[in-house]
Amino acid sequence: MINLQNIEKVYRTKTIETVALNNINLSVEKGEFLSIMGPSGCGKSTLLNIIGLLDEPSEGQVQIAGSDFKKHSDKQLAAFRNQNIGFIFQSFHLINDLSVIDNVELPLIYRKSTAKQRRELAAAALEKVGLANRMKHFPSQLSGGQKQRVAIARAIVGRPALILADEPTGNLDSVMGNEIMDILLNLNQQDNATVVMVTHDENMAKRTNRLVRLFDGMQVQ
Amino acid sequence: MIRQLFKLMWNSKRNHSLLIIEIFFSFLVLFGVMSFIISQYANYVEPMGFEGDNVWVVWFENANAEGGSLSKQKENMLNRIETFEEVDYVTVSENAIPFGGTRNSQSLKKGEVEVWSRYFFGDANYEEVLEIPLTEGKWFDKNTDDLKYEPVIINQRLREELFGNETAIGQILNPEDQGRPKKVVGVIGNFRWGGDFHKQENIYFAPVGKDRISTLLVKVKPTVTAEFEGQLSKTISGIAKGYQIEIERLVDKRKTANNLIYIPSIILLTVCGFLIFNVILGLFGILWANINKRKGEIGTRRAMGATQMLIAGQFVGEVMVIATFALILGCFFAVQFPLMNVFGLANAIYIKAILVSILVIYFLVGICAFYPSWQASKIHPAIALHAD
């Protein structure tokens, strides 16, 4: 599903050169649940952004679902993200002025679909995360766990093959964190979705198929 | 996407209420100014109905007070002026001086129809001096003299109001003061005596009294020099002894009359321009701040599949939706003007002013929104996601 070869990411300013990722080689099989751990600033989010085609590596090759992403246009990358990748963020990134169901519909707006189709898919996604009764609510009316469940519904509404989660339980207490983890595991096991999750939590990481550790931009496990 | 834009903006209308109010008031100011400018332009493009480029006005000071004595020299004066080869025509006018301002008006009755009209006094040469084309009938002459009826020339507007599709020539009109009835002998098109911006109004001409003389209109050849003005003045002074003579060019009077509209128009446009410039600056600042606050959302949208163009379109679209809310509110008030016939302007002028104002507001708002939105679209998604 994911194949990263010799990935290097260097941030350059006029005076400083910072190596965020150094010689990362990583393969993730379809249906695998991979967790990435490491101390703050070790390059976990950078790696996730590169996998999610939100950032480009300075060196190396990114292959996702058999496609090589070296010379793709902004439009092609956006279309690929929209069709194949679902994102979940630590701080949820919900749009406060849109209702729960409108937030979930967001990825579908960027593809050809009717309002009816969007509504049906969004309702089904909310059903899946147990928030069917909160469709008309606004994010400010939800708890942290509920917000993250909305974010998950938004990530899965387009039926992506790959889900990228950047510390999805980072802002939640352990009970809510476990609930979110259960949903992600469920998606991985029942829908055969490939999940790559960045986490600081050893307990969460232990529940995944495989763990990759980063330190100073290098893969150490 | 458009539906979601409206939904998003409707849900956040309270946050944008100040912006909506700002655009709403800008629209109303613009609508007012545009109504004024469009109405003046509509007048401007109408034919004047006469040609006054080479016409001089000769004023006799205190002429009205001693008109009787001056009337003795009238024939002699006109004959003498007509002998100059520089002069094409000369006419006596009591108050029919274009661009000079007059207040004479009265109601005319035709059966049950009663119509207000302004009126002027001219003589047989008036038509020639000002090159007024007749559309029907003829100007006054000896054959139109009638003791029972006063012959009048009416303009097209008055003709339509009084007679509709009926023939106007030969119709009898009764003045409100029960005076001598009037008989229509001719019809002219326009006579916008007040200047290039003067609106059409009902007008009729009646023959000037035989003994009356307060002003002369002299049509001179285009090649005349300033020396001739002195010569003419001297000649007239020699005949109208005891009177002070002043000669004025009709083109100068026209400029003065037009300035009465140009100057307030420029002031209005300048004030309106400053107001709108301030609104633009405010709008630009608000949008810039708003976009900076929403970097996380930009990153999220990019992650969900939005292209740079769609991000720029999202922000421009949002501002357009806000402008639409303000314009809907503004239009509600603006349409009351034609519905209630405020200020007596034609409905078409108000409609045009509304449309122009809407276009200007959308254009300005679009311009304001474009740069910050374009900048927003260029924010790297990975950076945007970590901005919050």
Give B147's contacts (C-beta < 8 A, 6+ positions apart).
none
Residue B352 one-letter amino acid:
K
Give the integer Cα–Cα distance in Å for A197 and A155. Answer: 13
Residue B155, SS3 per DSSP: strand
* Nearest-CA distance B347 → chain A (Å): 40
DSSP per position, B77-92: HHHHHHH-TTEEEEEE
Q: What is the pLDDT of residue A71?
A: 77
Token pair of B181 as six digits: 């009835």
Phi, psi of B41 (to 5 degrees): -65, -40
Q: What is the pLDDT of residue B77?
A: 84
ipTM of the complex, rounded to two decimals: 0.90
**The pLDDT of residue B101 is above 80:** no
Total structural domains within chain A: 1
Residue B294: closest CA among chain A residues belongs to which residue?
A: A95
Q: Do A97 and B299 touch (CB under 8 A)?
A: no
Mean pLDDT of chain B: 87
Residue A42 domain-assigned (yes or no): yes
Angle between helices B308-334 and B17-44 (to 10 degrees): 60
Per-residue pLDDT band at B240 (split at 50, 70, 90): confident
Residue A5 domain-assigned (yes or no): no
> Over the stretch B305-359, which tens digit does the pLDDT of each residue have?
999 999 999 999 998 999 999 999 999 999 999 998 888 888 999 999 999 999 9
Q: Do A78 and B4 touch (CB under 8 A)?
A: no
Residue A131 domain-assigned (yes or no): yes
Nearest one of B138, B151, B133, B144 to B188, comparing CA atoms: B133
Residue B104 in contact with residue B95, Cβ under 8 Å? yes
Give the integer Cα–Cα distance in Å for A135 and A96. Answer: 13
Q: Which residues of A touch B305 (CB under 8 A)?
A: 78-79, 81-83, 107, 110-111
DSSP per position, B232-260: HHHHHHHHSTT--EEEEEHHHHHHHHHHH
Per-residue pLDDT band at A35 (split at 50, 70, 90): very high
Residue B7: closest CA among chain A residues belongs to which residue?
A: A98
Cα separations (Å) of B259 from B34, B193, B263? 18, 15, 6
Per-residue pLDDT band at B34 (split at 50, 70, 90): very high
Nearest one of B355, B327, B341 to B20, comparing CA atoms: B327
Token pair of A167 as six digits: 């510390």
Per-residue pLDDT band at A85 (split at 50, 70, 90): very high
**The pLDDT of residue A128 is above 90:** no
Q: What is the pLDDT of residue B62?
A: 65
Least confident window among A169-183, B64-78, B107-121: B64-78
Nearest one of B45, B14, B8, B56 to B198, comparing CA atoms: B45
* Nearest-CA distance A107 → chain B (Å): 5
Cα torsion B66, B70, B72, B76 to 10°: value is 180
**The pLDDT of residue B270 is above 80:** yes
Q: Does any CB of chain A come closer than 8 Å to the CB of residue B301?
A: yes
Give the integer Cα–Cα distance in Å for B217 and B58. Answer: 6
Q: Does any CB of chain A come closer than 8 Å to the CB of residue B307?
A: yes
| More confident call, A109 vs B102 | A109
Q: What is the pLDDT of residue B239?
A: 84
Q: Do B296 and A93 touch (CB under 8 A)?
A: yes
**The pLDDT of residue B375 is above 60:** yes
Per-residue pLDDT band at B388 (split at 50, 70, 90): low
Give the integer Cα–Cα distance in Å for B268 and B36. Answer: 9
Q: Do A102 and B297 touch (CB under 8 A)?
A: no
Q: Which residue carries 């703050």 as its tokens?
A: A40
Q: Do A91 and B296 touch (CB under 8 A)?
A: yes
Residue B153, SS3 per DSSP: strand
Q: Do B304 and A75 touch (CB under 8 A)?
A: no
**The pLDDT of residue B289 is above 80:** yes
Q: What is the pLDDT of residue A150?
A: 94
Token pair of A9 as six digits: 């990411």
Give mean pLDDT, residues B221-250.
87
**The pLDDT of residue B67 is above 50:** no
Q: What is the pLDDT of residue B102?
A: 64
Nearest one of B347, B380, B312, B46 to B193, comparing CA atoms: B46
Residue A94: closest CA among chain B residues belongs to which residue?
A: B297
Give mean pLDDT, residues A145-155.
91
Reduced to 3 DSSP states, what percent helix, strand and coil does chain B have, rounded to the nearest 5?
55, 15, 30
Q: Do A55 and B382 touch (CB under 8 A)?
A: yes
Torsion over CA: A71, A73, A76, A80 (sign):
positive
Residue A169 in contact with residue A177, Cβ under 8 Å? yes
Strands A194-198 and A162-166: parallel
Give mean pLDDT, residues A182-192.
88
Residue A140 domain-assigned (yes or no): yes
Q: What is the pLDDT of residue B63?
A: 47
Q: What is the pLDDT of residue B361?
A: 93
Phi, psi of B219 (to 5 degrees): -95, 120
Give mean pLDDT, residues A196-206.
90
Domain range holding A87?
A: 33-47+71-211
Give the integer Cα–Cα distance in Å for A73 and B276. Answer: 39
CB atoms within 10 A of CB B289: 11
Cα separations (Å) of B151 from A220, B89, B121, B129, B286? 112, 22, 11, 19, 68
Residue A218 domain-assigned (yes or no): no
Q: Do A78 and B388 touch (CB under 8 A)?
A: no
Mean pLDDT of chain A: 89
**The pLDDT of residue A77 is above 50:** yes
**Winning range, highest mean pLDDT, from A105-119, B198-212, B279-293:** A105-119
> Over the stretch A109-125, which tens digit does the pLDDT of each residue have?
998 888 899 999 999 99
Nearest one of B293, B298, B357, B297 to B323, comparing CA atoms: B357
**The pLDDT of residue B259 is above 60:** yes
Residue A14 domain-assigned (yes or no): no
Give the integer Cα–Cα distance in Å for B290 and B285. Answer: 8
Q: What is the pLDDT of residue B69?
A: 59
**The pLDDT of residue B66 is above 70:** no
Nearest to A79 among B4, B305, B309 (CB): B305
Cα torsion A154, A159, A164, A168 to 10°: value is 40
Where is A174: in which H helix or E strand?
helix A174-190
